[in-house]
Chains A and B, each alone.
Chain A
Amino acid sequence: MKGANFYGAGFPYRDIQQLPGKLIVLEGTDGVGRSTQIKLLRRWLEDEGYAVSDTGLTRSTLTASGLEAAKSGHTLGPLTYSLFYLADFADRLENLIIPALQAGFIVLSDRYFYSVMARDAIRGVDKSWSRQLYGIALRPDLILYMKADVPVLAQRLIHGRGLNYWEAGMDLHLADNVYDSFLNYQTLLTKQFDELAQAYNFITVDANQNPDAIFEDLKAHILELLHNRLTKTKKPK
């Protein structure tokens, strides 16, 4: 088999040959600074002459409005929630990530499915069930796990966009206020992430540092990947 490299079943009805592009994933919990870094990385890579595409959770147009409506109600159960995210993931993978990789792009993914797994596991969703479902996923070329201490995350969010209901895991009734709930919830998430880091070979980057220092670390790992294996794809004028 010299086709594309999936974790499991993939898409058996499609013939997907080896993909010339590179799939780079940034993972990490809420408030760790992923989107800031994606912006910086994208600019840097494009300056270097690479064609870049980026994607992130819930950006599929197939599911975006339905998922948002479902999340704003109070009847969304954990399995339904999980499957909605799977649909979002599958749609972006088939219709965006794979075509971009076929065209030789570098795809920067703001989270992949690991975040969803971590979140679902805390809500009692069976882990082996999730693992098999995400057998449709491509193995990324690089998974950079931005890891920060929970108090650092809280501090950044409070001074940034604030603490929100889902990021604080308020649906789990872990505490009587959003701050304590955030601390409890993110601690649980970090535990799940540490487990996933082992299972899926994440490269851990210290995200307690300032954004510039994090950027330098991320760049170093990406350069190593690109210099080892990628032939440059110039962006068409």
Chain B
Amino acid sequence: MLKPNTTKGKLIVVEGIDGSGKSTQIDLLFKWLQSQGYSVFFSEWNSSPLVKSTTKAAKKEKSFTPTTFSILHCTDFADRWENSIYPLLKAGAIVLADRYVFTAFARDVARGVDPEWVRNMYSFAIKPDAVLYFRVPLEVAVERITAARASLKYYEAGMDLNLSENINESFKLFQGKILEQYDQMVDEFGLTLIDGTQPVKDQQKKVRALIKKILRGWEGLPNPNKPAGSARPAAETGGKS
């Protein structure tokens, strides 16, 4: 379904519902890998400069159907894939993605789109070297999001599905459906579970241990801008410099 990674690069992604703490963890991971002297890049869901304005307008006008929502998010992903993620992997970089195809599989299917259809749509993508799935109970995620935000947005609360007229209630019901989809994908795609209720520091320790294992013995694209005092010797400097 997803293609095996035959590039020189490494692809590491974080997944989880809103409020699972995945962005905090990937940010820490990114900085750590940088400090280690790796060539590491970051790609965020829904951030293509070519597609962003279309998505933004449709959200504002509330003119998405579950299918067009699904397709435009894949269009956004495809642009980042063709212009950034794939070429960087070919070059031998580490690419970190905050949300990947599994976000679409969870959300779009929760919206009623055919599971096989959406899996086919993303089948040009590579199976990541690691998928870290930050799992938190629904109540914890909802609590974190409602505490941190003044108001919820229409689509993130799944208001288009008419689950409830109350936006907080709708958010909870919709996130519950998404959580269900994520849990079903653990075995299907071999997601690595991380307990998102643990202290941030403990989670990061686990994350780094996992990634260390993946990077052991691997030599990617050398980083000419390696920070001073970096723990890891750059690949091209064999001996003295």
User: In the docked arrangement, what's the CA distance between A76 and B50, Å?
Assistant: 8
Q: B124 near A9 (CB under 8 angstroms)?
A: no
A79's contact among B63, B78, B113, B114, by CB below 8 Å, is which?
B78
Q: A79 near B82 (CB under 8 angstroms)?
A: yes
Chain A, Cβ-Cβ closest to B125: A79
Query: B79 in the interface, Cβ–Cβ < 8 Å?
Result: yes
A84's contact among B65, B75, B121, by CB below 8 Å, is which?
B75
Q: A132 near B124 (CB under 8 angstroms)?
A: no
The count of residues in chain B whose C-beta lies closer than 8 Å to any C-beta of chain A is 32
Q: B117 near A70 (CB under 8 angstroms)?
A: no
User: In the docked arrangement, what's the CA distance between A77 and B82, Å?
Assistant: 6
> What total of A-B pairs shows CB separation below 8 Å?
100
Least CB distance, A108 to chain B, in whole angstroms: 23
Residues on B with C-beta less than 8 A from A69 are 50, 53
Least CB distance, A166 to chain B, in whole angstroms: 16
Q: A90 near B78 (CB under 8 angstroms)?
A: no
When A and B form their complex, which 10 residue pairs have the shortest distance between CB atoms, in order from nearest?
A: A13-B112, A77-B82, A66-B54, A9-B114, A83-B75, A79-B78, A87-B71, A9-B117, A80-B79, A80-B78
Question: What are 10 A-B interface contacts by the 8 Å CB criterion?
Answer: A9-B116, A12-B113, A63-B54, A73-B50, A77-B83, A80-B78, A83-B78, A84-B75, A87-B68, A94-B67
Known: A75-B83, A136-B67. 15 other contacts (CB 8 A): A8-B117, A12-B112, A13-B66, A62-B54, A70-B51, A77-B81, A77-B82, A86-B71, A87-B68, A87-B72, A87-B75, A90-B68, A132-B120, A133-B117, A136-B117
